[in-house]
């Protein structure tokens, strides 16, 4: 995989260099399969496991990039977004002249499926609150982050994907997790973490937040709003994307948001939108 600069207004575009440079835009209309990962597809050309890279781009404010691949699947690296973040920041970001365009939520929307739930509400910044509930040894975990406070790199980016050892054989029989190893997945047994230590005590829910940020990047713009998710996953994340894109009364496009963040002592900070990078 290679990440290249792109002109302002391009968005994120994947290019399959092994298929004569065929391009697939990272937008909701190209969502293909969502189960254990989010895949894009255009005219039969597939791009798989996009969420970690797209999450990293949102987390560091990268709006426009051309991502070249010689394979249908993005590298998993260590199972988090941190290496993508580090490599892009090491290469450097360039501020572009066009102002960043945001999608400001105007009315709430909720998606429910049994005991699963995801919603977005109007808010001045971009916050995500997530609750997960898995079998032992994970149990229930909750995490919330205000992305307008530039916390992604420290609090979300390093969180790795995870899986239960008891499910590995069945998933491999389905053609999944072919590249999974203890170097890129937190492996869970009946009694605990097989390949610790964890990077955070609640690394599991933080990774779900990472995934959600990446899936919502398929809106094509950063959100101004509050996302609340409970036991959701890729399918519900992308269902919310689809619902938002289909109903233009739920949001407005703006280039001049005021991003406000409440500090622990109750004080509020604010900053205007930066230019595109």
10 Å Cβ neighbour count for 265?
Answer: 5
Report phi then psi at 83, rounded to 5: -70, -35
Using alpha carbons, list the distances in angstroms from residue 270 to 93, 191, 256, 264: 22, 45, 12, 14
CA torsion through residues 82, 68, 9, 214, sign: negative
Whether the CB-CB separation of 40 and 26 falls below 8 Å is answered with yes
Catalytic residue among 52, 133, 207, 234: 234
Cα 86 to chain center, whole Å? 16
- DSSP class of 27: S
- Is 133 tagged catalytic? no
Strand order in the sheet with 38-42: 31-34, 38-42, 45-47
Of the chain, the end-to-end C-alpha distance in Å amounts to 20
Strand order in the sheet with 2-5: 2-5, 65-69, 12-16, 22-25
Dmax (CA) for the chain in angstroms is 55
Residues carrying an active site annotation: 234
């Amino acid at each position: 995989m290679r990440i290249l600069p792109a002109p302002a207004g391009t968005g994120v575009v994947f290019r399959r260099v092994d298929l004569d440079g065929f391009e697939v835009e990272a937008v909701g209309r190209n969502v293909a399969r969502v189960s254990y990962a989010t895949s894009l597809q255009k005219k039969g050309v597939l791009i798989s496991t996009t969420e970690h890279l797209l999450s990293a781009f949102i987390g560091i404010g990268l709006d426009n990039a051309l991502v070249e691949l010689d394979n249908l699947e993005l590298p998993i690296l260590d199972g988090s977004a941190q290496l993508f973040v580090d490599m892009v920041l090491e290469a450097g970001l360039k501020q572009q002249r066009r102002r960043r365009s945001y999608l400001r939520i105007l009315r709430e929307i909720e998606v429910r499926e049994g005991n699963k739930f995801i919603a977005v509400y109007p808010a001045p910044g971009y916050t995500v609150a997530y609750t997960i509930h898995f079998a032992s040894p994970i149990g229930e975990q909750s995490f919330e982050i205000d992305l307008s406070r530039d916390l992604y790199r420290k609090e979300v980016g390093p969180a790795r994907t995870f899986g239960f050892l008891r499910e590995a054989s069945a998933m491999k029989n389905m053609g999944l997790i072919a590249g999974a190893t203890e170097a890129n997945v937190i492996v869970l047994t009946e009694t605990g973490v097989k390949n610790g230590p964890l990077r955070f005590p609640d690394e599991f829910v933080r990774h779900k937040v990472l995934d959600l940020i990446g899936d919502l990047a398929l809106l094509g713009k950063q959100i101004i709003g509050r996302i609340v998710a409970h036991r959701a996953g890729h399918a519900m994340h992308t269902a919310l994307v689809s619902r938002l894109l289909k109903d233009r009364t739920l949001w407005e496009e703006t280039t001049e948001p005021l991003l406000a963040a409440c500090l622990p002592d109750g004080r509020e900070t604010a900053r205007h939108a930066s230019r595109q990078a």
